[in-house]
Every structure is written in structure tokens, then in C-alpha cells.
Amino acid sequence: MDFDLTEEQKLLQQTIREFAAVEIAPGAAERDESCAFPHELIPKLAALKLLGIAIPEEYGGAGLGAMEVAIILEEIARIDGATALIVASHNSLCTMHLYRFGNEAQRQKYVVPLAKGEKLGAWALTEPGSGSDAAAMQTRATLEGDHWVINGSKLFITQGSVAGVYVIMASTDPGKGAEGISAFVVERGTPGLVVGKVEKKLGVRASDTAALHFDQLKIPKENLIGTLHHGFQDVIQILDGGRIGIGGLSVGLARAALEDSIKYAKEREQFGRPIGDFQSIQWKLSDMATEIDAARLLVYRAALLKDAGEEHKQAASEAKLFASEVAMRATTEAIQIHGGSGYLKDYPVERYFRDAKLCEIGEGTSEIQRRVIAKTLLQ
């Protein structure tokens, strides 16, 4: 494998780095503090086609691959984890699900405005009683004549209160468990689709997370996405790709922690010299840098395999598992290097620390990633 970026990828990386510094960095701390969704950034993200990264150009996207998604998310997360999560979830979950498994009419009606950033997407899988055990969902969809009627609830839905298009997973044959789940597309404003509590979170606080309730939600028969009862198998494929993006996001947060720590270690003096002169600090920085480079290579490997059309389930889980835990370790060490200052909101390392924790939970916990890896090995 050749891990060197192409000239086009290097230009993309630099473009996003500059965009994030100029457009996303201002106000990032304030948005985090007030839990304010960055509505003002959506048109700017759309202008760079960052809301349709991997969607072909004929559907309004940029036509790029998983490698470019990882590069973009690292650069955005280096500045703001919440904005990176918005980009990741919109692209990898809702929009990609509709593009990969929707029919041509659904692509034209929903994927095009999503990829152009005219609407935001939400992907509704998790429920109050089913997180990691997604196949145990209780939301039901019943076919009545030429309409589906959906009843149930979802929890922890990213973009839940701000989306214009929702992909909703529901059981269409409860007796079959995972083999009886289907996916549906629902537009905002459809009677019976009720936005519930908007969550107050530890981190990525400017990213919207809300509960959804379905009360006799009636949608046309043609809103079924893909094959009836095949939704769970489609979900697994979507998550495999999405985990690569979360890996890239994790690397960005970890890199932010390292770069800020290097700067602080050069400036902060104790005992008459910069703390970066002390071996205890040097070792922390060395370990952080080594693990971050290793995490990035795992993410790149998974992305290259996906772009080559090769099996990437284990690689994606390894990348997501390692990168997310590296992000948590790096941000923890960053606070330690900053000492008392790291515990204050005057320095962004405390925000990186709070944002990083989600990476070990979202799109499959670390425990689920280990289960996926072990299952693949034992097969």
C-alpha cells in the first residue's frame, strides 16, 4: 500500500485546513459553551461540497472516496469536533444510506438536496432499549394498504431536531429479529414525526442530538429503502464505512491535543526553563505522536481498502477502535501537560478531552469493535 497522499489530496488537505482555521475556528468555543448548532456554517460547508463528499457529482456531490473523507474529517476535527461530527454523520449515515440502497427516484428526490447541503440528514437506529443490540429495536412499521405506519421512538439521533430528511430503521417482521428490519425515508414535517428532547451532552455540544417519536407516522409505500427486511444488513455496511470517518475524526482531535501541548510545553516555564525540557513531558509528547501516527495509518489502510472495493470490516473496526482510544489518551495527557490550566476553559484541550469521549461510543462502542474484530478472526 502507498500511504503517500497524491497532489490532489495534499491540496484538499491544505484547503480544508485553511477553511477550518478561517471559518470554523472563530466561535467554536462559544458554540460549545452555549450548545449552539452552527447553522451559519452549513452553507459554507455546502459550498465546498463537504456535505456530499463521497456522493458522485451527478447527484450534487464531490465524487471523492473514503480516503478523502478521512482527510477532511481529521482537518475539521483538529479545529472543532462538533462540526466534524455534523459532517461525518450527514455524509456517512443518512446520505450514504440513501445513495447506496435507495432507488433512482429516491436518489433524485433526497440524495441531491442532501449532497448539495440544501437539507441536513439524520439516521435513526438507536432506541431507549436497544443501543449496541440494535436488532432488539421496538419501533414497528406496518404496511396498511399503500402506506407504511410507523410507531416507536429513537434516541441519541445526531441532527435529530434540525434535519430535513430522516432515514429510520424499524422492525417490519418482529418475529425475525435482525432479519426482519427495514429502512424508510421520512421528510421533516410529516405528521406523526415528533422531535423529542434535545440532549445536553458532555462533549461535541454544538452538534445536535435529539430523541424522535413516531405516533402513527404514515408514509407512502415507496418510502421503503432497499429490500424489505434487509435493512439491518444494510445498516452494518453503512456502519463499516462510517467507522473509518470516526477514525479520521479521532485522529484530528488527538492531533489537536498534541499540537497544543507542544506549543504549551515550549512556552510554559518551571524551575527556570520550559517544561518541554523535562523528560517526563518529552515522553508524553513522544508517546502521543507515535500513537497518533499509528492511528492515522490504520485509518488510511481501512480507507484504501474501502476505496479499492475490498473487504474492510475488520480494518474499519481496528481503525475506529485504536484511533478513538488514542484520542482519549492524547487528550487526557494534554490536560496533564497543561496542568491546572488544562482544567480551565481558557485552553481548548478540555474541549478536545470532552469531545474525544464520544469517539469511543458513537457508531459502535470500543467493546463492539473488539467483538467485530474477534468474530472476524475466529471465522
Same domain, 283 and 350: yes
Same domain, 161 and 181: yes
Structural domain count, the chain: 3
Same domain, 278 and 358: yes
Contact 14, 76 (CB under 8 A): no
pLDDT tens-digit map of 58-98: 999 999 999 999 999 999 999 999 999 999 999 999 999 99
Provide the pLDDT for residue 132: 85
Same domain, 116 and 137: no
Amino acid of residue 228:
L
1 is a domain residue: no
16-37 in b/e form (b: 16+ CB < 10 A) is: bbebbeebbeebbbebbeebeb
Burial class (CB in 10 A: 0-12, 13-18, 19+), 198: middle
Q: Of 120, 147, 179, which residue constitutes the final position of a domain? A: 120
Provide the pLDDT for residue 239: 96
pLDDT tens-digit map of 236-251: 999 999 999 999 999 9
- SS3 of 210, please? strand
Q: Of 230, 253, 270, which residue constitutes the final position of a domain? A: 230
237 is a domain residue: yes
What's the grid cell of residue 325?
482510544
pLDDT tens-digit map of 26-61: 999 999 999 999 999 999 999 999 999 999 999 999
2 is a domain residue: no
β-bridge pairing 147-158 and 209-220: antiparallel
Helix (H) / strand (E) containing 45: helix 42-47
Provide the pLDDT for residue 23: 98
Provide the pLDDT for residue 84: 98
- 269 is known as an active-site residue: no
First to last CA, the chain: 25
Angle, CA of 28, 295 and 328, to the nearest 5°: 50
Provide the pLDDT for residue 135: 82
Range of the domain at 39: 7-120
Q: What is the CATH number of the domain that holds 81?
A: 1.10.540.10
Q: Give the Cα separation of 56 and 49 in Å (integer).
A: 11
Q: What DSSP assignment string belongs to 335-359?
A: HHHHGGGGGSTTSTHHHHHHHHHHH
Provide the pLDDT for residue 39: 98
Q: What is the CATH number of the domain that holds 152?
A: 2.40.110.10
Provide the pLDDT for residue 2: 77
Q: Of 67, 99, 120, which residue constitutes the final position of a domain? A: 120
Enumerate residue ranges in the chain where pLDDT < 50. Answer: none
Provide the pLDDT for residue 134: 81
Whether this prediction's pTM lies above 0.75 is answered by: yes
Same domain, 219 and 171: yes
Provide the pLDDT for residue 3: 78
Which member of 23, 75, 318, 363 is catalytic? Answer: 363
Provide the pLDDT for residue 148: 98
